[in-house]
A and B are shown apart, each in its own frame.
Chain A
Amino acid sequence: MQTVLNLLEAEPIRLLLSFALILFLVLNLAGILTFAERKVAAYIQLRYGPNRVGPRGFLQPAADVVKLFTKENVMPHRADMWIFLGAPIAMFLPAAAVWLVVPFAPRSVVADLNVGVVFFIALTSIGALGLIMAGYGSRSTFSLLGAMRGAAQMISYEVPLILSLLGVIMLSGSLSFQDVVNSQSGGFWHWYFLPQLPMFITFYIAGVAEARRVPFDLPEGESEIVGGFMVEYSGMTWGLIQASEFASMALVSAITATLFLGGWQPPFEFLDLGNFNWLWFAIKTALIIFTFQWIRWSLPRLRMDQLMDFGWKILVPVCLIWLFVTAGAMLLLPSVF
């Protein structure tokens, strides 16, 4: 047994194994979340949701994959083929690659980069690039409208997203996710969402906007621009874009749980599960994902000017003010922090 474990931890095997696991996790998350999304929507609207394929409809994602694979990929003949086909790659890449630096349990992180937070932010911007590629490459009016909206939205909400992480970095003194989680040990009152409450709320809202979820789904806006940047996509190209949307929602939830809710840290010290602490991480992430879905089926979509006003005139000033407050508090009360 020990020999097998040592063999698995030897470098090339560990590398390949962890890559396979991450890819497995991302794809399954995307599949399960499409199902969960529809079930949550159904129960909020007093319906049953998908319940025909398999027991209680659990095999619906598998049926969807089969359907998407056998559907024709229609591409507008005026479209720029390479940009059009490159867009799903550019959207899927950040949603999958950031999982490398997320700590799942005390010793379980694939690559503990010492600039993990910066890595997360850098890759999030690639998602915006993929969106613009999809809209521009289609050479369609609705697509381009959606892409321009999306570009404006994502770069605007990237600013509060970046600024809201400063408080956490100041308190933990590190950019590595593993260090941030370690510095939140010892019960839920040590988690950063309490001293950083405004930053936590800002990060959560900006995260919803970066994942392009309702109420920030203007780039898609199915009731006005019928799908926005992905209106020309069909079959598996559409499926990959959709998968990356769900994966990035799960990613934002996981990052929120890691940075503000203690990651794999248990809420009370006597609930420490050792190597099984990933259960806490999973529970926190799942709860945040559920709030995302809850918001989606409860709130209407924002208007474009409301969206921009909210980002620049409320979230950014809140971040700057709380940056001063945190810095001042750390200076005046060094014993507390």
Chain B
Amino acid sequence: MALGLLQQGSSYGVLYLYVGIFMLLITGFVATTLVLARLLSPGRRSGTKGQIYETGETTVTDPWRPFPVRYYVFALLFLIFDVEAAFLYPWAVIYRDLGLYGFVEMVIFVVILTVGLVYAWKKGALKWV
């Protein structure tokens, strides 16, 4: 049954099956390598070795604590442009057939986003201190 499914070759779903199987295979390969390295390499644990590296100093703080909110602003901007791309890609594929209508639509869409970018710029959100 599975064999018959695979033999259709170029059909839509099968390609994704390909990609899925390959990803599982890669994951398995890397995991196997890690296990193999664990078996081949010496493993003498000690308290000093288990400490984190901070150029020879003893660690005093836990790095798992709040970090600057700046990153959040950039993540938000990224999200906006990423979603924009999700809309622009299908538009770009059929742009040749859309003609003037497609051009005007895109201009309106991108200008709104550009205004957002300019606003963030002027507000100083893009400034890295």
Which residue on B lies nearest to A225, using beta carbons? Answer: B55
Known: A12-B6, A138-B52. A308 touches B40 (CB 8 A): no
Instruction: Judge whether A93 and B99 touch: CB under 8 Å.
Output: no
Which residues of the other chain, B, contact A93 by a CB distance below 8 angstroms? 23, 26-27, 30
Is B18 an interface position by the 8 A CB rule? yes
Interface, chain B (partner A; CB < 8 A): 3, 6-7, 9-10, 12, 15-16, 18-19, 21-23, 25-27, 29-31, 33-34, 36-38, 40-44, 47, 49-55, 59, 61-64, 67, 70-71, 74-75, 77-78, 81-82, 85, 88-89, 92-96, 99-100, 102-103, 106-107, 110, 114, 117, 121, 126-129
Enumerate 11 A-B pairs (CB-CB under 8 Å) in ascending A order.
A12-B3, A69-B36, A74-B49, A89-B30, A97-B23, A112-B15, A155-B74, A156-B78, A166-B92, A226-B53, A312-B121
Please tell me if A151 contacts chain B, counting CB pairs below 8 Å. yes
Instruction: Map CB proximity to B onto A300-326 as digits: 1 under 8 Å, 0 otherwise.
Output: 000011011100110010001001100
List the B residue with the shortest CB-CB distance to A125. B82
A142 in contact (CB, < 8 A): yes
Residues of A within 8 A of B25 (CB): 19, 23
Selecting from A157-165, A208-216, A272-280, the interface stretch reads: A157-165
**A152–B26 CA distance with the chains assembled, in angstroms:** 27
Q: Is the interface of B mostly helix, strand, loop or mixed?
A: helix
Contact present for A76 and B103 (CB under 8 Å): no
A264 to B2, CA, bound (A): 34
The smallest beta-carbon distance between B11 and chain A, in angstroms, is 11
Question: How far apart are A95's CB and chain B's nearest CB, in angstroms?
Answer: 9
Contacts of A331 in B (CB 8 A): 99-100, 103
Interface centre among B21, B42, B63 (most CB of A within 10 A): B63
Q: Chain B contacts of A312 at CB under 8 A?
A: 77, 117, 121, 126
Q: Is the CB of B19 within 8 A of A111?
A: yes
Indicate if the CB atoms of B82 and A158 lie closer than 8 Å: yes
Q: Give the CA-CA distance A224 to B12 in the complex, in Å.
A: 49
A73 near B41: Cβ-Cβ < 8 Å: yes
For residue A42, CB closer than 8 A to chain B, the reply is no
- Stretch of A31-39, A48-56, A168-176, A281-289 with 4 or more beta carbons under 8 angstroms from chain B: A168-176
| CA A70 to CA B37, docked complex, whole Å | 7
Q: Which of B40, B71, B126 contacts A313 (CB 8 A)?
A: B126
Does chain B have a CB within 8 A of A96? yes
